[in-house]
Amino acid sequence: MMIKYYAGIDIGSISTEVVIVDADGKIAGYAIELSGAESAKALERALVRALEQAGLKREDLLAKVATGYGRERAEAEYKVTEITCHARGVAQLYREARTVIDIGGQDSKAIRLDLNGKVANFQMNDKCAAGTGRFLEVMARALEVEVGEMGALEKKSRKQLRVSSVCTVFTESEIVGLLARGEQREDIIKAVHDSVAERVYGLVSRIGIEPEIALTGGVAKNGGVVRALAEKFGRELLVPEEPQIMGAYGAALIAAERSG
């Protein structure tokens, strides 16, 4: 009997993800590529890598679902919103999840799920970069550190600082001032993570905070942000092994459901 395979495509502003699943929802392969200026080329690279990892050919894919801000540019049987795809991916992994927080490159989303794992309510922060992956990149540049190092560096923090600005530009200026004052980078980094958690908490509060809470998106790889959010919400968060592919994973599951 031939095994059926389906692909989910998530074209974001920063990265493009492709996930391939079988009919049971098991991941056969996935890939992450930087979107860059030409998202079509990033998608092609990600698709080739995901197929290679799965040991499959293009013709083995029965259907594709595209999501993300660039989904209209993808060749796929279905186009589905990011909200629906992230909710579907989390519901598959964590049946107990009732709140999903997705922190992407340029926006963040708060999604409340009903008892069946369907979207009951949601809010998006897509008008301001503060609290997103781009925000962290700008702060890392101001601190002259790699954004991927921030989670580890904050563990050395020994002093509580506060970053009060809610705008990316003003926060960057505030950081420059803290450095000029002689404050340590690790203490400033911890304050930046705390400010991200504060903004996200405010976003989630608008839809109602219900446990359990799952965290998705590339920023979920930053242990400092995960720590800050756990403290703010007063509970541990559910973080997938590879949180960056959850939108594409949900899209692949939807492809399987619609074509099964």
pLDDT in tens, 218-239: 999 999 999 999 999 999 999 9
pLDDT of residue 19: 98
* Residue among 247, 202, 256, 252 at smallest CA distance from 229: 202
Report the chain's mean pLDDT, rounded to a whole number.
Answer: 95
Least confident span in 43-47, 150-154, 161-165: 161-165
For residue range 11-69, list pLDDT tens digits in order. Answer: 998 899 999 999 999 999 999 999 988 889 999 999 999 999 999 999 999 999 999 98
Q: Which tokens go with 34?
A: 């930087």
Owner of token pair 């939807």:
254
* Average pLDDT rounded to a whole number, residues 183-188: 98
Percentage with pLDDT > 90 across the chain: 87
Please name the residues in contact with 80: beta carbons below 8 A apart, sequence gap of 6 or more.
65, 66, 67, 71, 251, 254
Domains of the chain are: 1-94+241-260 (3.30.420.40), 96-237 (3.30.420.40)
Please name the residues in contact with 49: beta carbons below 8 A apart, sequence gap of 6 or more.
18, 29, 31, 33
Taking a C-beta distance cutoff of 8 angstroms, is the pair 46, 225 a contact? no
In angstroms, the CA 107 to CA 94 distance is 23
* Residue among 219, 255, 211 at smallest CA distance from 240: 219
* Residue among 246, 190, 192 at smallest CA distance from 214: 246
Taking a C-beta distance cutoff of 8 angstroms, is the pair 113, 100 a contact? yes
Residue 109 Cα distances to 9, 51, 77, angstroms: 18, 29, 25
pLDDT of residue 206: 96
For residue range 205-220, list pLDDT tens digits in order. Answer: 999 999 999 999 999 9
Taking a C-beta distance cutoff of 8 angstroms, is the pair 203, 232 a contact? no
- What are φ and ψ of residue 198, in 5° steps? -65, -45
Taking a C-beta distance cutoff of 8 angstroms, is the pair 94, 258 a contact? no
The sign of the dihedral angle between the CA atoms of 203, 68, 213, 97 is: positive
> Bridge-partner residues for 124, per DSSP?
109
* Average pLDDT rounded to a whole number, residues 118-124: 96
